[in-house]
Chains A and B, each alone.
Chain A
Amino acid sequence: METQFLNEHALPGKIGELFTILSFAASIVATIAYFLSTQSRSEMDQRNWKNLARSSFFVHTGSVFGIFITLFYIIFNHYFEYNYAWTHSSRELPFKYLLSCFWEGQEGSFLLWTTWNCILSFFVIGKNNKWESPVMSIVGLAQVILASMLLGLYFFGERIGSNPFIFLRDQMVGAPIFQLPNYLSAIRDGNGLNPLLQNYWMVIHPPILFLGFASTIFPFAYVIAIMWKNDYEDFIPTLLKWSLFSCMILGTGIMMGGAWAYESLNFGGYWAWDPVENASLVPWIIMVAGLHTLMIYKSTGYSLKSVILFFILSFSLVLYSSFLTRTGILGETSVHAFTGEGGSLFYHLLFFLFLFMLLGFVLFFKNIRTIPDHKKEEEALSSREFWMFIGALVLMISVVQITYTTSMPVWNKMFNTKLAITDPISHYNKIQIWITMLVLLGTATVYYLKFKHSAMREVLMKLALPFTLALAGTAAISYLQELKSAPIVALMFMAIFSVLANFFFIIRTLKWNAIKWGGSTAHIGFGLMVIGIILSSYNKQVISVNRLGVDFPMGKQTEEENKKESRENLLLFRNMPITMAGYTLTYNGDTVEGPNHYYRIKYQTRKNDTGAINEEFILQPNAQINPKMGLISSPDTKHYLTHDVFTYITSTVDKSQMRDTVSYTSKMMKIGDTAFFASGFMIFEGFNTNVNSKNYVPQTGDIAVSAKLKVYNLEGVATNASPVYVIRQQQEEIIEDTLVADNLYTRLTKIVPAENAAVIEFKQPSAMNDYVIMKAILFPYINVLWLGTVVMILGFLLSLYKRIKTK
């Protein structure tokens, strides 16, 4: 007989499964109906099929929302009988991180993607024009595949998709605990959320990034639609809006990921050319190239083929990026905690990728002769379209290089090799620096050129002023910031030139016609970003350099670099100040909050002459000694306008493992007596027979007394300690109380009722046993990067606004 399990909440799971199947079925109906509507000749048929398609798509959307809400309901109520809730959440998570639990898992992130597709689709349906049916056929097809990712049904012995509503006991078949009907009462808490994801950026970054990924299907679907219908009229404004939207959102999502990495990861930066970062950057670069070629097509009628290819590629590479990051194929090359779900997902995603790539390229080559192209008149070298096109090609070089290296694990798998890059950062930088230079040159000059033909003399005259100012600016900055590498100085010059040239274009040509500022503003933002990147990374300085001891030959060019490389970690004993880069640092102990240890590091600067304290702040980098992942260290950063001081823990003492040699001091204390220890004193305030201590679990027959101790540290802060003395079955038991913050251990070992006194034993293990090892990095002018990002996003927003306004 089957076991009847107690207290399971089976209903939400049933509802959720119903919604998954409904969403899958409805998406199939919608796709077929939209397809037939596109193919129908008579208007009547078109309309009928379209109406059916719409209603199915509404049902599909409703079901997707249904899945979303049901899954959230399960997580929110901590129904740990469900695998998803158990794997990705726990009771102690605050509300905002319950949302992050969603996107930690593979199913949840696919769900997020589908949801955005549904929402965005309503902007296509709402237009109610000739593009709805073909475009929605394509989007619908993607929805079918995405919905199938959540099915978790078996076809011919192979599981297709993964059902988020599966019970824990069905996931782990055979575990002995599930033999018990009341197994649920044994599962007190879930497995919890990966601590790296417990950061506010992780609440907002994945939805935005997925909105960006989702948006790339619309430019794709529109170019497919124009080829399919062989109709090249009335699509430019819509396509332009979609590609602008996509560039804006995807760009925001990527940079939010950078901000997250900077704030909560400890690789010391915002970008590491990690495969996962590259995989989201590449579709964005192609989208930008597509946007620019679309502008060429709009103004001159050239290069529609490139537009089509770019938009096909952009979405294909979004699919490729999902393939790379979710199938575990990246293996050891990525720091990102994405799991390899492996198995059928590998082929599922590969199918998704090839289906859409083939769809795009087959249609493209089939129609290559009918795609309109301006007939063969030679483009002038002085025309804007010529150089914009070159710019797009330059972006493609960047894409080819990034994709080629990022795909190394794929090549390894295909050709059975074992290649890897030893130093990815310099590998990418050394090519991308030159590409960025060319891109910046393009962004600086493009607005000064006119479509068809421009008067070069005039162009050069207008560029003379920003050029000269940029030269002066570069000289000044290179001198002040000690930029010594020639390519870096050249890159700096291009970035400043781009910012100034676009700035002057705004004030001299566009004037107060602010709605036209979009493109120039985005270019200024990009230039500022590059300036910020150079300043913050070229002079990024590890300031926790330990100059004592032996140096290591690290294969660096100079002695100074060797030193820097070899001794970047600094050891701080508790309460023993050490000077570092003009700061006096003191480690003042730690605070425990749940699984997090916050280490208080006090930074002080003093005036040279008087020695009076100039500035003082406390950074609290946090580390979790996580049973599953080891030390997880999150930095804390002091932000100044001109630089950031970034501090994180690289190693700590595990206090529970520590064996100390300090013995207890014993003291007979009457009520009101004071005892002193190394970093403070305590007052014995009396006994308490109503014992309430976290270490003491009462049993019947116990006689328990605790001592009330008020402990003052050097800063005058008081805390209470209550060591307990118990007589249990004629045996005495002593329950110690530990004040973690003060590192003070107290015991009550004897009670002398006659004198109203007690023997208190205490010890404070020496500070030598309590230390942290930390690393501190100074990022100069990192705010320029964030400013540039915001300006660039605003530029896209402004352009989008302009396109929405002009009907």
Chain B
Amino acid sequence: MKKSNLVALVVIAIALAAILSMVGDFSSYETFTTAEEKPGKEFQIIAKLDTVEHKMMYDPIKDANHFTFYAKDEAGQLKKVVFNGTKPQDFERSEKLTMTGSMQNGEFKCSKILMKCPSKYKTDQVAVGQPS
């Protein structure tokens, strides 16, 4: 066998090994219940903001890095979420939240929130002024 073929095989083997070794980095989107089974492990959860029963709490003057709210996951379970950051602007209007974090003592401690707003990229409303 030629040396280059041998090396090519080795390279392919390394590439496969690399991909396989990373499988642990992937997680599917979870629910609060599955996250609760492994407290402390990081998960991504898709949820909806819920302000019906509980209010969002954010007092930047007391602590600018502490924001709590309640969210309902895809299974419909409601949990308190603690986010260590500022309250994202227009958070009330979010339609869907993708949160990264872990369950601790019945609360979801979250370090990253991606939010999807209904009108983010849509341009279906014409701004109308008075006809002059």
- Report A's interface with B, CB cutoff 8 A: 86-87, 168, 172, 175, 177, 180, 182, 185-189, 191, 332, 337, 339, 376, 378-379, 381, 386, 389-390, 393-394, 396-397, 400-401, 404-405, 408, 417-423, 427, 430-431, 546, 549-550, 552-555, 565-571, 625, 628-631, 650-651, 768, 771, 773
Contacts and interface: CB of A to CB of B under 8 A. Distances in A.
B45 to A, nearest CB: 11
A417 B130 contact: no
B65 A768 contact: no
Given A397-B18, A418-B29, A379 B4 contact: yes
Interface residues of B, number: 56
A800 to B, nearest CB: 29
A555 B102 contact: yes
A260 to B, nearest CB: 19
12 contacts: A87-B123, A188-B127, A379-B4, A397-B15, A401-B22, A422-B27, A427-B22, A549-B65, A566-B84, A630-B90, A773-B60, A773-B64
A423 B104 CA distance: 19
Interface in B60-108: 60-61, 63-66, 82, 84-90, 93, 98, 100, 102, 104
Given A189-B129, A550-B63, 20 more contacts: A177-B126, A177-B128, A332-B98, A332-B114, A337-B121, A381-B3, A386-B4, A389-B4, A401-B18, A418-B29, A419-B26, A420-B27, A421-B27, A422-B42, A549-B63, A552-B82, A552-B109, A628-B119, A651-B64, A771-B61
Contacts of B64: 546, 569-571, 651, 773
A321 to B, nearest CB: 20
A390 B27 CA distance: 33
Nearest to A424: B25
Contacts of A417: 28
A15 to B, nearest CB: 25
Contact of A421 (B11, B26, B119): B26
Contacts of B22: 401, 405, 427, 430-431
B22 to A, nearest CB: 6
Nearest to B117: A630
A783 B29 CA distance: 39
Contacts of B100: 422-423
A628 B44 contact: no
B131 A186 contact: yes
A220 to B, nearest CB: 23
Contacts of B128: 177, 186-187
B120 interface: yes
Contacts of A393: 7-8, 11
Contacts of B86: 569, 650-651, 773
A651 B89 CA distance: 7
Contacts of B117: 629-630
B128 to A, nearest CB: 5
B37 interface: no
A631 B109 contact: no
Given A422-B27, A553-B109, A630-B90, A401 B15 contact: yes
A14 to B, nearest CB: 23
B124 interface: yes
A386 B65 contact: no
A186 B130 contact: yes
B14 interface: yes
Contacts of B26: 408, 419-421
Contacts of B121: 337, 339, 628
Given A188-B129, A404-B19, A630-B89, A553 B104 contact: yes
Nearest to A178: B126
B10 to A, nearest CB: 9
A422 B112 CA distance: 10
Contact of A555 (B7, B14, B40, B129): B40
A631 B15 contact: no
Interface centre among A417, A430, A569 (most CB of B within 10 A): A569
B65 to A, nearest CB: 5
A397 B14 contact: yes
A396 B8 CA distance: 11
A427 to B, nearest CB: 4
Interface of B: 2-4, 7-8, 11, 14-15, 18-19, 22, 25-29, 40, 42-44, 60-61, 63-66, 82, 84-90, 93, 98, 100, 102, 104, 109, 111, 114, 116-117, 119-121, 123-124, 126-132
Contacts of B43: 422
Nearest to A631: B89
A315 B16 CA distance: 24
B25 A625 contact: no
A550 B131 CA distance: 56
B100 to A, nearest CB: 6
Contacts of A566: 65, 84
A635 to B, nearest CB: 15
A671 to B, nearest CB: 40
Contacts of A565: 84, 111
Given A420-B29, A553-B109, A400 B102 contact: no
A552 B123 CA distance: 40
Contact of B88 (A180, A188, A628, A630): A630
B65 A554 contact: no
A555 B42 contact: yes
Given A386-B3, A571-B64, A650-B85, A427 B14 contact: no
A390 B8 CA distance: 8
A554 B100 CA distance: 12
A417 B64 CA distance: 37
A175 B3 contact: no
Contacts of A379: 2-4
A555 B63 CA distance: 20
Nearest to A545: B65
A386 B7 CA distance: 10
A269 B82 CA distance: 26
Contacts of A431: 18, 22
A393 B114 CA distance: 37
Contacts of A631: 88-90
Given A397-B14, A420-B44, A187 B87 contact: no
A186 B131 CA distance: 5
A188 B132 CA distance: 10
A172 B90 CA distance: 27
Contact of B127 (A191, A418, A430): A191
A172 B8 CA distance: 56
Contacts of A771: 60-61
A788 to B, nearest CB: 26
Given A378-B3, A421-B25, A768 B88 contact: no
B62 to A, nearest CB: 8
A185 B131 contact: yes
A405 to B, nearest CB: 7
B61 A768 contact: yes
B14 to A, nearest CB: 6
